[in-house]
Structure formats: C-alpha cells, structure tokens
C-alpha cells in the first residue's frame, strides 16, 4: 500500500495514514487502502485491538478537493460508486468485530472528523481542531451524518453539521464526538488503554457487544429486548463465558 501502513505489535494492530504532504486527505486510493488495512487487521489472529493513527501535522483533512473536482466531470453513477466506496469504509470501521481506537495527533476536518466519529474510541491532543465543514464549500456531510446523529444526538449534530464551524478537541470531547483529550503522551496513553482492553476483556465479548450496539438502535423496544435475550442466551454458551465464570468462581486471574 502506498498511503496506508499496517503492522502488528503486542496484539495491537496499527493502521497509519501516511500521506502527510496532502494532510492525509482522502481519495479513492486512500479509502481503498484503508479498507484493505482494516480487513487485514480484522483477519489477523495476532491483533486484538486496532489503533488508527496518522503521520504529519494533520490527522486527516477530509476529502482531497482536487480529486472531488475531477469527479465533477464523471457521470452520476460513477460519482455514486465513489460515494459508496467511502460509505463502505465508515460502515466497515463501525461494524468491525475488533475495537478501533483513533489516536488523533492533529486536525481532523470534514472526512477526518468522520473517521474519528465511526471509531469506537477517539483520543486527541489538545491542539487538534475538529469540524464537519462541508456546508462551507457547498458540499454536505451526508455519510458521516448517519453515524454522528447516532453518536451525539440530533441537536448536537445539527449544531456542528449545519454551522460547519471548527471546534476544539475539548468541545469535541464534551459533546461526545471524541472520547477524551490527552494532555500528556498521546501514543503512550492510547497504547496503555488498548493493552487494558487486551488484558482484561474477552475479544469475543467485545465483538458481540459492538455488533449489538450497531443493531439494537434500529429496533423497537420489544424487538430490541428480544434480540438482547437471544444474545444473552447465546453468550452464556460460549467458551469465553464459561472460562470467565469458572476463573471468577475459582478466584483465578483470567488470561485473555
């Protein structure tokens, strides 16, 4: 891959955006490489938790505007295929069976904020700025909107999506766009958090919980509770649940 790197270390899969001269802007190739990297990480038995990082001053500046300008010459069907390409990446991250943590070392604008929004956790340096700025260039934040309303609610989503304003990392944390602002060493803190998930939690349980979170919001109360009871029963029969309960009752340390 040219613009995305994947490596594994200590059960963490690192996916790194590496297009710093273009502020890690997204075009068809970058999105394709991200999809490939997440697929590699999801199928890597040595990877339990994934960290999404970036090289350079910016985490991601969103869509490559020169690329978008080129697309304006294309047919609607060709442009729709490109939109679906990005949609598939966001959905892939959101529904991936492994936990994805974004380590945001610089500004995350438009599609960059979109990437942060679909990760399970997002930790940022204090100086990073966030913003869904599409309306300021005559565009719309169409794909990320679906995920953002789920994440922070309609009123807060309206504020940032309709205004297109830039917000600080602190405000992004306060309204729920990101998880936390890290004042100290970002990489060290994120890795420590990832290792805590790795050491203390069942991968199978995290995958099932993440899948339920994605699915249950579409259901009525009754349907949601039916799914919950069904998944609860299925979870009791898993090897991880049997192992966990047995270790707890025996006062043994569980090794995940």
Q: Quick check: is 252 catalytic?
A: no
Alpha helices by DSSP H, 48-104: 65-71, 76-95
Instruction: Give the helix/strand (H/E) hosting 41.
Output: helix 28-43
Between CA 147 and CA 176 the distance in angstroms is 12
Between CA 207 and CA 89 the distance in angstroms is 18
CA 144 to chain CA centroid, nearest Å = 11
Say if residues 234 and 176 touch (Cβ distance below 8 Å): no
CA 59 to chain CA centroid, nearest Å = 13
Task: Collect all residues with Cβ–Cβ distance below 8 Å to 176 and sequence separation of at least 6.
Answer: 151, 152, 156
The active-site residue out of 134, 154, 174, 183 is: 134
Judged by DSSP in three states, 44 sits in coil
The residues annotated as belonging to the active site are 134
């Amino acid at each position: 891959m040219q613009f995305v790197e994947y490596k594994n270390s200590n059960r963490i899969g690192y996916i790194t955006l590496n297009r710093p001269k273009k502020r890690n802007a997204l075009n068809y190739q970058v999105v394709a490489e991200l999809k490939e990297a997440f697929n590699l990480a999801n199928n890597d038995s040595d990877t339990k938790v994934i960290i999404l990082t970036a090289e350079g001053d910016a985490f991601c500046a969103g869509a490559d505007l020169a690329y978008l300008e080129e697309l304006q010459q294309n047919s609607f069907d060709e442009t729709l295929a490109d939109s679906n390409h990005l949609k598939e990446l966001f959905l892939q991250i959101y529904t991936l069976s492994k936990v994805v943590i974004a380590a945001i070392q610089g500004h995350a604008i438009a599609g960059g904020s979109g990437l942060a929004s679909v990760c399970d956790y997002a930790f940022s340096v204090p100086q990073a700025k966030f913003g869904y700025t599409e309306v300021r260039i005559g565009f719309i934040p169409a794909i990320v909107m679906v995920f953002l309303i789920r994440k922070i609610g309609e009123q807060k989503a309206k504020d940032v999506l309709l205004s297109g304003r830039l917000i600080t990392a602190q405000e992004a944390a306060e309204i729920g766009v990101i998880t936390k602002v890290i004042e100290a060493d970002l990489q060290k803190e994120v890795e420590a958090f990832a290792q805590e998930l790795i050491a203390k939690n069942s991968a199978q349980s995290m995958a099932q919980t993440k899948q339920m979170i994605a699915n249950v919001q579409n259901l009525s109360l009754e349907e949601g509770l039916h799914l919950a009871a069904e998944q609860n029963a299925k979870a009791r029969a898993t090897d991880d649940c049997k192992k966990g309960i047995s270790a707890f009752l025996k006062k043994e340390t569980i090794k995940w």
